[in-house]
Amino acid sequence: MIKTLPFLLIISLIIGCGGYKFQEVIEPLERGKPEDAYTYLQKHAPKKPDIPYYFELGMVAHYANHFAESNSVLDVAEDIAEDRYTKSVSKELGSLVTSDKLRPYPGTRYERLLGHYYRALNYVYLNQFDGALVERERATNLINYFKGEDEKYDFFGTAFLAHLSGMLFEATGEWNDAFISYKQASEYYQNATEKTGVEMPDDIGNSLVHLARKLGFVDEFERYRKQYGEPPPRPENTGELILFYESGYVPQKREAALMFPILKKDDVEDAEKFVPTLIGREGMVYEEVELEYLLRVAIPTISSNRPRFTGIRVAVGENQKTGVLVEDVENIAIETFNAQRPVILFRTLVRAIGKYLLYRQANKKHEALGILTNLAGVLTEQADTRSWGTLPNQIFMVRMPLPMGTHTVKLSFLDANGRVRGSQSVPDIRINPNQIVFLNYRTYE
């Protein structure tokens, strides 16, 4: 026990260290200065950069138009995440007696999938469509891995990636692969709609009908046309703009303190057996005469953080179209956390009981030692709130056929009631016949 105490105090200093402040990253982004955010992150890299840092750096590099650099650091994040699916036993054990912050952070499934979205866009903007297609293949392999690993996989984030894959294949003239991707997107959207609240966009059905006709798949063409109807005609000598509108921030995980009563009659020596009893006491009040100890634990929590802008309307001349929701990152983040919370709470309570037993042993030897041990336990009790914080809250999409030429695209940002609350113009969008132009645009309000 005496050897463990200095270790706890040292760890309390280690887990409190950080190289950058999230607020210093988002402030320049919100001022329209992504280059400043990129420079700040480069200058304030942690001594041992980890996945969340690489996620943030890759994101701001993307918005600062450093597309190759964005891909490089997002690749690093994915390589680390893939490696961490093999657990580090030493750090896992350390987390039981100190803090979840010492656990290797592997990234969530939806974070890793969205990393492929940004990398694919980076390649598109670099005019390297082969690289974008390789990226969608990596995303597909990751989805298949998740499906094989977990028979109850919730498909969060997979529909949007399959949808994007279909559009990328269309842009490169790979019609059969596009058809397959849209079929997968249809399946994935339907699997996850109940939890994500995102309905399958109409353009998927339209694309299935259009591509089945183009490929001569007679049976599938008739089936999809009966299911989705005849798609809008595609005039000759026109191209298409596909715009992704990213709004707000994904909710941040925060630290919450919970109190659990240990009663004088309790046998706490076998922590794992006792934890279910403690969990059943969450929020309950007992008389002081019954109490032996109030166990305080720190656990992450998450709540909705909807942005001011929750929709978009795009206009090019007289041509107008309203965006459709294709990815609700907030719902995915909250549902993912809620699924993980029971495991997090169980592990946190096992760790807290271990600290309590150390305190009890120390207190029997000397009251001052007991106080010091209890203090060390409090200092090391920190919730793991790591995440990819700069991800958007929601992603909307507009697919708009446009005549060949150079256009100014007017973006109108909508509130929850569909009213226009802001606008921006994007000039010099060049449309070529029978080609797809991709564009993503971000607001933070």
Whether residues 109 and 180 fall in one domain:
yes
| Domain membership flag for residue 205 | no
| Domain membership flag for residue 285 | yes
Whether residues 151 and 28 fall in one domain:
yes
Q: State the Cα–Cα distance between residues 231 and 273, nearest whole angstrom.
A: 60
Whether residues 59 and 124 fall in one domain:
yes
For 272, how many CA atoms within 13 A lie in the half-sphere containing its CB? 2
Whether residues 316 and 295 fall in one domain:
no
Return the bridge partners of 424, or none: 411
Whether residues 78 and 16 fall in one domain:
yes
Total domains in the chain come to 2
Amino acid at the residue 260: F
Residues in the chain: 445
Whether residues 272 and 136 fall in one domain:
no
Whether residues 318 and 359 fall in one domain:
no
- Point out the domain boundary residue: 348, 379, 410: 379
| Domain membership flag for residue 212 | no
Whether residues 136 and 87 fall in one domain:
yes
Whether residues 125 and 239 fall in one domain:
yes
| Domain membership flag for residue 209 | no
| CB-based contact 255:385 (threshold 8 Å) | yes
Whether residues 325 and 390 fall in one domain:
yes
| Domain membership flag for residue 214 | no
Whether residues 57 and 184 fall in one domain:
yes
Return the pLDDT at 99.
67
**What are the mean pLDDT values of the chain's consecutive 10-residue runs (445 residues total)?**
48 55 95 97 94 97 98 97 68 54 87 97 97 94 89 88 97 97 95 89 96 96 96 88 98 94 91 92 86 89 96 95 97 95 92 83 63 58 91 98 96 96 97 96 96
| Domain membership flag for residue 328 | yes
| Domain membership flag for residue 221 | no
- Strand order across the beta sheet in which 405-414 lies: 319-322, 311-316, 405-414, 420-431
- Determine how β-strand 311-316 pairs with β-strand 319-322: antiparallel
164-167 contacts at long range (C-beta below 8 A, 24 or more positions apart) = 164/117, 164/120, 164/136, 165/136, 165/139, 165/140, 166/204, 166/207, 167/242, 167/436, 167/438
270: domain range? Answer: 254-301+339-379
